[in-house]
Structure formats: structure tokens, C-alpha cells
Chain A
Amino acid sequence: METGTQKLTEGAEAGTGVFVFEESTSKPEIKWRETVRLFCSNIAALLGFIVLVVFVLAGIFGPTLYPADPFELVAAPLSGPGEFTLLGADYLGRDVFIGILYGTRATLLIALTATLVTVFIGITVGALAGFYGGMIDNVLMRITEFFQVLPPLVFSMVIVAVFSSDILVVILAIAVTTWTTEARLTRAEFLKIKEREYVLAARAMGASNLRMITRVILPNAMPPLVIAITLRIGITIIYEAALSFLGLTDPDVMTWGKMIGLSRDFFFDAWWTVTFPGLAILLVVLCIALVGDGLNDAFNPKLRGR
């Protein structure tokens, strides 16, 4: 109801009052430009975003600019930072810095793909349940409840153990165990938005169900989803790091979590082997949290400071 009147006044201000109704049925009512402006005025969020961009660029171009093999033994085993290599070497003499650089690409790529799959499953299930309601909703929500009962880390460890530690299996294991949060969130948003006037108007104009879901409701459900997805990336990075730490991911791919796991028996003699990869995880996930907070404030300016 509130959004309806908001739309009207906005349209009146812009002098297009006549078309307001039609516009609001086809276009999302979120002011993305305003959101970007608000986001950029938040220094912490902007800083976090910049650091993330640096990491992404390092992940994309780093290995090309600095060709090396993260598994190659290049220095004296357990040599400290600055002795032979910038950040020291692990118990076999692998360069920690090269590991982190190459790990950036693998870590981010796995986390992003897994997040994408998670979000895709979650949004699909949530949207179908929220849009159709009734039987479909009931069945889908029971399935969601079932998956919520299985503790993510334990369940994904079991999946990897039963099938394989192939990257694809790991990504699916992460997605299968965590999509329920997004599903519930999407469903709640759909239930809320479904009753709005512009949705009814779109229906009256003969929009197909698919169009209603993807073009009318989903864009309007995006703000809370964008925030959730952002935070999900951070959670997935830590999640993947945990699986890698336990040695349950692809042995041929170097990730930050794996570096920590590989040095588990030696870190009392070489603090740098676990400290630096861990700091990389901490820094990236911290920046993601800052960006998520910034998005939250930008989407809900009224709630600022909560």
C-alpha cells in the first residue's frame, strides 16, 4: 500500500502522473542510481569494494603477470618471510606468497560459482513456492525444511566422502547444503510483493506466469536478495576454506584454506604458513561484509545505524 502512494507522488513530481501506473507494472520501483550514490557515500563500504576489486584483479591477472607453480619447491623448507621469499616458505619449501596469489583465483572462482549455484537453487525454489502457493508451496517448503535439518558442514563432508573431491562435487556440495536461506528469503519477499497493486495490474494485462515471476516480482524482490547474496559470497569463501582445510577438496588446486590445512602439523615452527593465507581470507570476507553493510544502508536509508 505504502509503495503505491509513493509511486504516485513520484510520478506527480516528474510530471508523468498519467503513465505512473503502467510504468510501475513494467519497471522495478527501486531507485538503483540513488542506491549507488548512497553506497559510494559510505567510505567503509567503498573501501571494502576497492580492496575486493584489487583481489579480483589479482586473481584474474596475477598468475599471468607472475608465472609460477604454487606446488613447486622454491625455497628452503620453513624459511621465514624475507629469507628467500616475500612471505616465507612452507615445510616443503613452497612459496607462501605464490600460494596466496594463485589461491586467490581458485578461492574466488570456487566461492563465486558455488554462490551462483546456491542462489540459483534458492531463488528458483523460493520463487515457485511464493508465487504458486498451495500444494507447490507446501511440498517445496517441506523439502526446504528437510535440508535445513542437515548441518551444512557435516552434510557436505559426507557428500564429498561418498562421491568425490572433484571441484564440481565440492561446489555442488556447498550449494546443496546452503540454498535454504535464499529460498526462504525469496519466498517471503514473493509473498509480500505478490499482493501489490502493480503485480495485480500486470496480471490483469495478461502477463504470463513466467513473465510475472522473472520480470515483475523478482526485480522488486532484489534489494534484500542482493544483500543476502553478497553476504553469502563471504560465507561460501569461509565454507570452502573449511573444506579445503580438512583436505576434502581437489588436491591439485591450491586454495587459501588448503594452504592452512597443509601446514597444520608444522605451524608451530612456521607461523607464517598459516597466518598469511588466513589473513587473506579474513581481509576478503571482511570487505565483503563492509560492502554488504553498505548495500543494506543504501537500500534502506531509514534504517541507517542499526
Chain B
Amino acid sequence: MKLAIIQRILLGFVLVIAVIVLNFFLLQAAPGDVVDAMLAEAGGGDPELAAKLRASYGLDQPVFIQMLKYLGQVLKGDLGYSFYYDESVTELILGHLPTTLMLTLSALVIAVVMGTLFGVYAAMKPKGFFSNFVTVFSLFGYATPVFWLGMIILLVFALYIPLFPAYGIRSIPEPEHWFDRFLDIVNHLVLPTFTLAILYLANYSRISRASMLDVLGADYIRTARTKGLSEPKVIFKHALKNAALPVVTLAGLQLGQVFSGAVLVETVFSLPGVGPLLYESIVRRDYPVILGVLFGAAVTTIVANIITDLIYQRMDPRIQSIT
């Protein structure tokens, strides 16, 4: 088993290198380079200066050498400089990360917990009203564009019934006391979290209902019932343990997709997260930032996948013999 984990981590490392190589070639394919950007900022310059600058940045060397250099740089955590912000891309992304993490993680936790409960409850009465509700809910969850849902929620809960603020993550001016400041941020995050969570929730309810239905038909559940265990004990101690596996897989997958999920919602709610950073950098053609976000997103996915695998192995001992 130890070997399997090491193998998994090595594979993850290879994937990271592959992403860096891809990034390098995308950067090469992008029009203009650092020197172009610098000269544009300085208001133009003669070709001689450009050539000198290129030499000093190593841009006149063969592509392969440049790639190796880029590889070493990124592995050290240096993603280059933003043309626009004149700041290191790594710091820029780390600075925008807290908002994104707060938004996506709270949405994910809400969705996983409530989705599992919804699924369990629906599976207990497969033909009941709530079970049908879960089916319809998951259909709508599949069909609703998240950015549109965000706008409709804004219209209803920020404009027509002004319960929550419409944009940003802090009020201006900020409250004095630290606890009020905290509440202020929570208040700003309610609507975007709700938007994201509701679509995730639709998915989790469906999956946990389906897997619960599967498990409830198994022999060991019948055994548990014949033993005279109470129904809650059967459901939560015996069934849920196994039914939770698909939910864990999905949660792990989505943990890796935090950036994707956040891009649209953060844009709609004007939150200062990684999403708008990516979007604005695309508009400005600020390639180091764009590729930095792609790299960060890919690494998050790789790490999340490894963690999911580990949790999965813990939860289902049968897996060990296979990997």
C-alpha cells in the first residue's frame, strides 16, 4: 500500500511537469513576450534595445533551453511577473486565493452535508414525494447556468428584497471591530455561496440517493435489520458508510475544480477572487497571470486527486488489494 501511495505521488509529479511544459508552449504561442510588454509600457524602444533585453532574459536561446529554465523556475514557485500589476504572479494568485477558497469550500461543505442527508432521506422512501423532488431538483441543477442563477438570485435577494449586498466582499467603510468585519464578509458571501451550493447540492442529492438505494438492497443491510438494529443505526452506521463512497469521489473531484466553479460566480458577484483575476488578465492579455492560474488550478486538481485516493482507500479497504 505504501508503494501505491508513492507511485501515485510520483505520477502526480510527472503530471505537474507536463502541465509546466504545456504552459511553456502556450506562452510561446501567445503573441508578444515579456520584452514586448516592457517596451510597450515604456512607450516603445528601438530594436537594438529589444534585442539586448531579450538576450538578458535568455529569450535568444534555443527553445529547449528556455523550456528547461522555465521548468526550473516554476518548480521553485516562480511563475513570472504580471505585465499589468508589476507584481509576482505567485503572490498575485495567493493574494486572490482566500476569497476563492472561502467561497468554494463553504459551498462544497454545505452541498456535501445537505446533499448526503437529502439523498439518505429520499432513499428511505424511493417512491415518496421527497424522492421525486430530488429527481426534479437534480434535473434543474444540471440545466441551470450558474452565472444566470447568480444574477437571478441577485435580482431577488439584493434588488427586490434587499437582504444582502450585491457585490464585493467588504463594505465601505469597513466596520471597526474585528468581529463585525468578519460578519460583514460572511454577509457578502451568503448569496454567492448559496448560488454555488445550490447547484452542487442538486448533484450530491442525486448521487447519494442513487448510491444509498444501491446499498439498501444489499444483504448485509438485511442482516443488520434482522439483528434487530434500529433503523437510524442501520442507515447511518451500516449503509451510509458504503453509500458515501461516490459522494467522496465527487467531492474530491470538485475540490480540484475550485477555480473553475469560482470563475463565473465571482465574476457575477464581483468578488476579488482568482476568477476575476483570470478574467481581467485575459481581457488585458496578461499571459503570465493567465498561465499561472492554469498552473495553480492544475496543481490543485492533482493534489486533490491524490488526497481523494487516500481517503477512498481508508474508507474502502477492498481498494488496497487492487492498486
Which residues on A are within 8 Å of B, measured CB to CB?
145-146, 148-155, 157-163, 231, 234, 238, 241-242, 245-248, 257, 260, 264, 267-268, 271, 274-275, 278, 281-282, 285-286, 288-290, 293, 305-306
Within 8 A of A (CB), among B88-131: 126-127
Within the complex, the shortest CB–CB distance from B305 to chain A, in Å, comes to 8
CB neighbours of A268 from chain B (8 A)? 154-155, 159, 166
Most buried by A among B147, B263, B291, B293: B147
B147 touches A150 (CB 8 A): no
Cα distance A34–B289 in the bound complex, in angstroms: 54
Q: Is the CB of A161 within 8 A of B293?
A: no
**CB neighbours of B166 from chain A (8 A):** 268
* Distance of B2 from chain A, by nearest CB (Å): 22
Q: Chain B contacts of A246 at CB under 8 A?
A: 263-264, 267, 279
The distance from the CB of A294 to the nearest CB of chain B, in whole angstroms, is 12
A238 contact set on B, CB distance < 8 A: 143, 145
Q: Is the CB of A150 within 8 A of B145?
A: no
The reply to whether B30 and A289 form a contact with Cβ atoms under 8 Å apart is no
Chain B residues with CB under 8 A of A161? 30, 282, 285, 287, 290
The one of B18, B26, B143, B297 in contact with A285, judged by C-beta atoms closer than 8 angstroms, is B143
Q: How far is the CA of A202 from the CA of B267 in the complex (A)?
A: 55
A162-B26, A306-B213 are contacts. A145–B259 as well, Cβ < 8 Å? no
Question: B12-37 CB contact bits vs A (8 Å, 1 = yes)?
Answer: 00010011001000100110000000
Min CB distance B9 to A, Å, is 14
How many angstroms from the CA of A246 to the CA of B36 in the assembled complex? 27
Q: Is B278 an interface residue (CB 8 A)?
A: yes
Q: 14 A-B Cβ contacts within 8 A?
A: A145-B11, A146-B15, A149-B298, A150-B301, A151-B260, A152-B260, A161-B285, A162-B26, A245-B264, A246-B279, A278-B151, A282-B145, A282-B148, A286-B143
Q: How far is the CB of B253 from chain A (nearest CB, A)?
A: 9
Q: Check if B147 sits within 8 Å of A149, measured CB to CB.
A: no
**Would you give the shortest CB distance from A54 to chain B, in whole angstroms?**
17
Pick from B151, B154, B159, B294: contact of A260, CB under 8 Å: B151
Among B278, B294, B298: residue with most chain A CB under 10 A:
B294
CA distance A241 to B148 in the complex (A): 10
Nearest chain-B residue to A284 (Cβ)? B143
A151 touches B297 (CB 8 A): yes
Other 12 A-B pairs with CB < 8 A, given A161-B282, A162-B26: A149-B301, A153-B264, A154-B259, A155-B294, A158-B291, A234-B142, A242-B147, A285-B143, A286-B139, A286-B143, A290-B139, A306-B213
A238–B18 Cα gap in the complex (Å)? 29
Least CB distance from B199 to A in Å reads 10
Min CB gap B184→A, angstroms: 22
Name the B residues within 8 Å of A271 (CB-CB).
Answer: 155
CB interface residues, B 266-307, toward A, < 8 Å? 267-268, 278-279, 282-283, 285, 287, 290-291, 293-294, 297-298, 301-302, 305
A302 to chain B: closest CB distance in Å? Answer: 13
* Contact yes or no, A154 B260, CB < 8 A: yes
**Residue among A157, A260, A293, A306 with max Cβ neighbours from chain B (10 Å):** A157
Known: A274-B151, A278-B151, A286-B140. A150 touches B263 (CB 8 A): no
Contacts of A278 in B (CB 8 A): 145, 148, 151-152
Number of A-B contacts (CB under 8 A): 131
Contact indicator A162/B297 (Cβ below 8 Å): no
Distance of A238 Cα from B140 Cα, bound (Å): 12
A-chain residues with CB within 8 Å of residue B302 when the two chains form the complex: 149
- A283 vs B216: C-alpha distance in the bound complex, in angstroms? 34
Contact B264 A146 (CB under 8 A): no
Query: Contact between A154 and B151 (Cβ–Cβ < 8 Å)?
Result: no
Interface readout for B241-275 with A: 1 if CB under 8 Å, 0 if not?
Answer: 00000000000000011011001100110000000
Which residue of chain A has the shortest Cβ distance to B149 in the bound complex? A278
Q: Determine whether B59 belongs to the interface, using a CB cutoff of 8 Å to chain A.
A: no
Q: What residues of B have a CB within 8 angstroms of the CB of A149 in the complex?
A: 15, 19, 256, 298, 301-302, 305
Nearest CB in chain A to that of B139: its residue: A289
Q: Which residues of A contact B144 (CB under 8 A)?
A: 282, 285
B297 touches A275 (CB 8 A): no
Q: Cβ of B305: which chain A residues have Cβ within 8 Å of it?
A: 149
B145→A241 contact, CB < 8 A: yes
Report B-chain residues with C-beta under 8 Å of the C-beta of A148. 301
| 8 Å CB contact of A282 from B143, B256, B267 | B143
Residues of B within 8 A of A264 (CB): 151, 268
A231-B143 Cα distance, complex, nearest whole Å: 10
Residues of chain A with a CB closer than 8 A to B142's CB: 231, 234, 285-286, 289
Whole-angstrom distance from the CB of A297 to the nearest CB of chain B? Answer: 12
Chain A: CB-nearest residue to B144: A282
Check A163/B29 contact, CB under 8 A, given A153-B263, A154-B260, A278-B152: yes
Residue B210 CB within 8 A of the other chain: yes
Does B298 contact A150, Cβ atoms closer than 8 Å?
yes
When the two chains form the complex, which single residue of B126, B143, B257, B282 contacts A151, counting CB atoms closer than 8 Å?
Answer: B257
From A146, A158, A281, A306, B148 is in contact (CB under 8 Å) with A281
Asked if B278 and A157 sit within 8 Å, CB to CB, the answer is: yes
Query: Which of A154, A159, A257, A290 is within 8 Å of B297, CB to CB?
Result: A154
Which B residue sits closest to A150, measured CB to CB?
A: B298
